[in-house]
Amino acid sequence: MASLMGQMMQMPLMISSLIVHAARHSADTEIVSKRVEGDIHRTDWKHTELRARKLAQALARLGCTAGDRVATLAWNGYRHLEIYYAVSGSELVCHTINPRLFPEQIAWIANDAADKVLCFDLTFLPLVEKLAPSLPSIKHYVLMTDWAHMPQQSTIANLRCYEDLVDNENGEYAWPEFDENTASSICYTSGTTGNPKGAVYSHRSTLLHAYAAALPDSLDCSAKDVILPVVPMFHVNAWSLPYAVPLVGAKLVMPGPHLDGKSLYELFEGEKVTFSAGVPTVWLGLINYVQQNKLRFTSLKRTVIGGSACPPAMMRTLEDEFGVEVIHAWGMTEMSPLGTLAKLKTKHAELDAAAKHSILEKQGRVVYGVDMLILDDNDKPLPWDGKAAGNLVVRGPWIIENYYKGETSPLVTVNGQQWFPTGDVATIDPDGYMQITDRSKDVIKSGGEWISSIELENIAMAHPAVHEAAVIACRHPMCDERPLLVVVKKPSADVTAQELLAFFEGRIAKWQIPDDVAFVSELPHTATGKIQKLKLREQFKEHRLPTA
Ligand code: AMP
């Protein structure tokens, strides 16, 4: 017998529907941006949708047609948000470029994506002027500012003014409907190794991901919230917040380039922010500022921290000292990015604080839509016993099948299904809580046993004299590799290598304690703030461990 087909409407999942929804149902809900120009700008969802329509008209007038890439070099702000919707909504592809990359890498990425238009904040005018000769595909340069702030002259011929483009249109534009699998945006991975690779998201993947992101056990977004993404819009679409916030109709606050502790704190307090999101490094600066000035957070209830492992000491400070709930999350550019978040289950309610903490410090459980496995070196699934550590693979409708222009599929086949290898090594406990124990490209294998560099770094970070710490594998004649702790001390802090190593006693198995400590003035970081372990290993290639 033939299947009975469902009789529901066929409506493609379109990114434009999010802003239309917000404009209709949360019309006067505010969008507040700290501008590059230094002032605070206020608008709302209704005007943002109107201006996005005008910008879509302007892009069409510039000659953009379906599939063309429109790139951005921009901070979090209302114009960047308008570009997100105007570009994807009109069947173009929004390519958010990370301005913190090295200039040569930016040019490489823009050329790889064959960007046609580049929209950029005032901050980046000198950079774009320098890069323009090496960007042959870009036909239009749009400076994201008004006439008053346009430069008198520029080496960029025919530099356009964003506000001028928007003002010249009437907004009589109907968002088109097209195949929901059409590309909506591209984000390149941070490039810890080799050339960056592009992840190409679709309207469908973005909408499904936004639904999942807004759920209570995910980011828990509500119309009652005031949400400030510190995570940049060029870092995996600010972890979906530019989509999840209009989906629920919350107030959105954006910090522009002002990411220091003082500016962020003033914006949090001034706009009564309830929820935020960012990488651990951002919180280091904010916590320092708040502690030094003996301040409190009066509205902030919770924050999601991810992108790299959140040090437990940071979680404790935010929760115990400031009453801010920390949601530890794990994901990747290739995963749109959400994969797992650490939230408790009902059955954990009776646990004591220490037991709760040990669950919440993990990377967490998958959101519905993501499936995961851990595999041994022969791609055989390992048990979820919280002990066996293996290569973490994932699948789901917002996880890439291939990279942009990818010639060979990155996927692995397990039990007839295709999975994306994350390059992370993890355990999964019987309740489904995943814990990253290391990265397969950055793992310490001592005498055939895994040592978690993350665990060692977390311990080191809890030492009061340590500002930042990284653990790398160092060659060892007996064990193959042994851990070396590389430390940046806090200004004016004084600590010896012996004292630091003694700090590990009783906190970890004896054989896992680093063999040596190297003090440095700073650690090398990628453009997204992750420690560049490969570079660090290169730096310490000749380091001789005292045990060797
Ligand atoms: P990216 O695509 O630049 O966001 O990098 C993704 C990678 O960052 C992941 O594969 C992990 O190695 C790392 N990562 C992200 N979130 C976490 C986390 N919460 N804990 C540990 N590592 C993380």
CATH superfamily for domain 444-539: ANL, C-terminal domain (3.30.300.30)
Which of 109, 282, 436 for a ligand 1 pocket mutation test, highest count of atoms within 8 Å of Cβ? 436
DSSP 8-class letter at 91: T
Say if residues 195 and 108 touch (Cβ distance below 8 Å).
yes
Is residue 330 within 6 Å of ligand 1 at its C-beta? yes
CA 112 / ligand 1 centre spacing (Å): 24
Q: Is 189 an annotated catalytic residue?
A: yes
Predicted pLDDT of residue 448 = 53
List the residue whose alpha carbon is closest to atom 5 of ligand 1.
332
Sketch the domain layout of the chain as residue ranges.
16-325, 444-539
Say if residues 125 and 147 touch (Cβ distance below 8 Å).
no
In this structure, how many other beta carbons lie within 10 angstroms of the beta carbon of residue 226? 21
Using one digit for the tens of pLDDT, what is the confidence trace for 134-169?
999 999 999 999 999 999 999 998 899 999 999 999
- Mean predicted lDDT score pLDDT of the chain: 93
Three-state DSSP at 446 gives: strand
CA 363 / ligand 1 centre spacing (Å): 10
Q: Which two tokens stand for residue 351?
A: 């646990």
Sequence-distant (≥ 6) Cβ neighbours of residue 501 within 8 angstroms: 485, 513, 514, 517
* Low-confidence residues in the chain, pLDDT < 50: 191-193
- DSSP states of 473-529: EEEETTTEEEEEEEEEEPTT----HHHHHHHHBTTB-GGGS-SEEEE-S---B-TTS
Q: Which two tokens stand for residue 145?
A: 């500012």
Predicted pLDDT of residue 323 = 96
What is the spatial distance between Cα 496 and Cα 299, in angstroms, rounded to a whole number?
Answer: 40
Say if residues 350 and 379 touch (Cβ distance below 8 Å).
no
Predicted pLDDT of residue 86 = 98
Predicted pLDDT of residue 191 = 46
Predicted pLDDT of residue 475 = 80
Compute the residue count for the chain: 548
Predicted pLDDT of residue 447 = 62
What is the spatial distance between Cα 386 and Cα 363, in angstroms, rounded to a whole number?
Answer: 13
| CA atoms within 13 A of residue 407's CA, in its CB half-sphere | 0
CA 315 / ligand 1 centre spacing (Å): 17
Cα angle: 58, vertex 62, 68; to 5 degrees = 100
List the residue whose alpha carbon is closest to atom 9 of ligand 1.
332
For residue 30, give the amino acid letter: E
Using one digit for the tens of pLDDT, what is the confidence trace for 239-274?
999 999 999 999 999 999 999 999 999 999 999 999
Is residue 307 within 6 Å of ligand 1 at its C-beta? yes
Q: Is 450 an annotated catalytic residue?
A: yes
What is the spatial distance between Cα 182 and Cα 179, in angstroms, rounded to a whole number?
Answer: 6
List the residue whose alpha carbon is closest to atom 15 of ligand 1.
307
Q: Report which of 78, 135, 509, 129 is spatially closest to residue 252, judged by C-alpha positions.
A: 78
CA 333 / ligand 1 centre spacing (Å): 9
Q: Which fold has domain 16-325?
A: Rossmann fold (3.40.50)
Q: Are strands 390-395 and 371-375 parallel, antiparallel or unpaired?
A: antiparallel
Active site residue: 129, 317, 450, 535, which one? 450
Is residue 309 within 6 Å of ligand 1 at its C-beta? yes
Q: What pTM was computed for the model? A: 0.87
Predicted pLDDT of residue 437 = 85
Write a three-state SS string for 407-445. Answer: CCCCCEEECCEEEEEEEEEEEECCCCCEEEEEECCECEE
Predicted pLDDT of residue 93 = 98
CA 238 / ligand 1 centre spacing (Å): 14
CA 57 / ligand 1 centre spacing (Å): 38
What share of residues in the chain are helix, strand, coil (percent, to 5)?
Answer: 30, 25, 45
Q: Which two tokens stand for residue 523?
A: 């650690």
What is the spatial distance between Cα 32 and Cα 42, in angstroms, rounded to a whole number?
Answer: 5
Say if residues 214 and 250 touch (Cβ distance below 8 Å).
no
List the residue whose alpha carbon is closest to atom 3 of ligand 1.
190
Active site residue: 91, 334, 455, 457, which one? 334
16-325 and 444-539 share one fold: no
Active site residue: 29, 43, 96, 189, which one? 189
Is residue 232 within 6 Å of ligand 1 at its C-beta? no
